[in-house]
């Protein structure tokens, strides 16, 4: 099988390429050039491209670089900035997977005659649906599982995707890299938004050079003025740090963000609790997965990349395309713009973006 392996310059994708080459596949590594600006936090830096190239050389496989910078700006960076301007909290890694790694790259691979695309995500692909339908399944290493960030993959895409390390723990991946003498064996994981540099002011400087950042009022639920924030566009629901508000020694959290009115409503931790969330842009693994989710039998949800599963009692699909998910017990409010992903056991049923 001819396999195009997305090599980010990290240990996971390095081992993924090595395993596929060992299995006898015709492997070609590719690194995506996505961001032309400053980057010091992984995935987009010059050093990552160099690491990927050297690993490919060591494995004896060809290495390519695809410039998807325009697509990255259109589908990831632009929406990231626009969401902050609207008071939302985006997840750029999910949008990068949606539009770049599992759309643009899959299409390019098909044009070039490759049978499959492989990545180093900690997740699995298994025939767990009716009639052997493929679904994304949690990776073996629960602490590193990335099924949440690739929840949007459908059956047609999964038929052309390989996730070679999904059945390994992170320790096993690093051990295998060490055995193979890969230069990425001890390389730290990338944790931050890849296109925002730690140098020169980070997120605030990045956004401030693209949109006006305005001071905002902090008020409680009755409208009483409690203070101010330097930039309302940088506040996210659930945030505590940086607000500088406490009452009777108890911290206060952002309950809602209204950019148009330059107002952040704050309250106690228990005021963050809600009975459910409304989702837009929901993508289902397939029709059977949608039906299973709507039935809400043994369905759980994940509301952050590494959050604990939350029990679901009801999933309601509305005519306008939104889906309302009801929790078995009240949960902390999820910031609008973030994703909620539904599971049956370890298998992804679908997911969408929290609306206001």
- What percentage of the chain exceeds 70 in pLDDT? 97
Q: Each residue of 124-163: pLDDT tens digit?
A: 999 987 788 999 999 999 999 999 999 999 999 999 999 9
In this structure, are 73 and 174 located in the same domain?
A: yes
pLDDT of residue 247: 75
- Lowest-pLDDT range, 54-58, 199-203, 312-316? 199-203
Say which residue, 191 or 313, is predicted with more confidence.
Answer: 313
pLDDT of residue 356: 78
CATH number at residue 172: 3.40.50.620
pLDDT of residue 244: 81
In this structure, are 331 and 279 located in the same domain?
A: yes
Q: Stretch 324-343: mean pLDDT, rounded?
A: 97
In this structure, are 31 and 114 located in the same domain?
A: yes
- Residue 290: band (very low, low, confident or very high) from pLDDT cuts 50, 70, 90: very high
Catalytic residue among 43, 44, 93, 194: 194
CATH number at residue 349: 2.40.30.10
- Lowest-pLDDT range, 7-11, 83-87, 187-191, 332-336? 187-191
- Domain count of the chain? 3
Given a cut of 90, whether residue 110 has pLDDT beyond it is yes
* Residue 139 is assigned to a structural domain of this protein: no
Given a cut of 70, whether residue 123 has pLDDT beyond it is yes
Q: Look up the domain containing 59 and give its range.
A: 2-120+164-180
Rounded Cα distance between 352 and 283, Å, is 6
- Has 43 been annotated as catalytic? no
- Residue 37: band (very low, low, confident or very high) from pLDDT cuts 50, 70, 90: low
pLDDT of residue 178: 97
Catalytic residue among 43, 44, 93, 96: 96
- Has 194 been annotated as catalytic? yes
CATH number at residue 243: 2.30.30.280
Given a cut of 80, whether residue 248 has pLDDT beyond it is no
Q: What is the mean pLDDT of the chain?
A: 93
* Residue 136 is assigned to a structural domain of this protein: no
In this structure, are 39 and 168 located in the same domain?
A: yes
Q: Stretch 319-332: mean pLDDT, rounded?
A: 95
């Amino acid at each position: 099988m001819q396999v195009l392996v997305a090599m980010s310059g990290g240990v996971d994708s390095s081992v993924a390429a090595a395993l596929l080459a060992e299995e006898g596949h015709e492997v070609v590594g590719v690194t995506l050039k996505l961001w032309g600006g400053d980057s010091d936090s992984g995935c987009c830096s010059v050093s990552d491209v160099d690491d990927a190239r050297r690993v490919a050389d060591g494995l004896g496989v060809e290495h390519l670089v695809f410039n998807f910078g325009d697509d990255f700006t259109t589908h990831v960076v632009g929406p990231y900035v626009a969401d902050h301007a609207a008071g939302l909290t985006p997840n750029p890694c999910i949008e990068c997977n949606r539009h770049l790694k599992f759309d643009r790259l899959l299409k390019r691979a098909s044009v070039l005659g490759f049978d499959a695309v492989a990545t180093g995500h900690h997740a699995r692909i298994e025939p767990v649906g009716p009639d052997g339908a493929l679904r994304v399944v949690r990776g073996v290493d629960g602490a590193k599982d990335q099924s949440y960030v690739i929840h949007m993959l459908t059956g047609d895409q999964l038929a052309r995707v390989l996730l070679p390390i999904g059945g390994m723990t992170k320790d096993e991946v690093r051990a295998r890299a060490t055995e193979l003498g890969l230069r990425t064996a001890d390389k730290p994981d990338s944790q931050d938004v890849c296109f925002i540099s730690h140098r020169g002011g980070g997120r605030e400087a990045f956004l401030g050079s693209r949109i006006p950042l305005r001071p905002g009022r902090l008020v409680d639920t009755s409208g009483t003025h409690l203070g101010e924030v330097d930039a309302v566009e940088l506040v996210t629901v659930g945030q505590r740090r940086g607000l500088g508000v406490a009452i009777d020694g108890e911290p206060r959290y952002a309950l809602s963000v209204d950019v148009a009115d330059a107002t952040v409503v704050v309250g106690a931790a228990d005021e963050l609790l809600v009975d459910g969330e409304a989702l837009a842009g929901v993508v289902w693994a397939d029709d059977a997965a949608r039906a299973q989710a709507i039935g809400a039998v043994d369905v759980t949800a994940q509301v952050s990349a590494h959050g604990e599963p939350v029990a679901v009692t009801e999933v309601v699909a509305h005519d306008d395309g939104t889906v309302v998910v009801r929790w078995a017990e009240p949960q902390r409010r999820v910031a609008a713009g973030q994703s909620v992903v539904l599971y049956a056991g370890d298998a992804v049923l679908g997911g969408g973006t929290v609306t206001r």
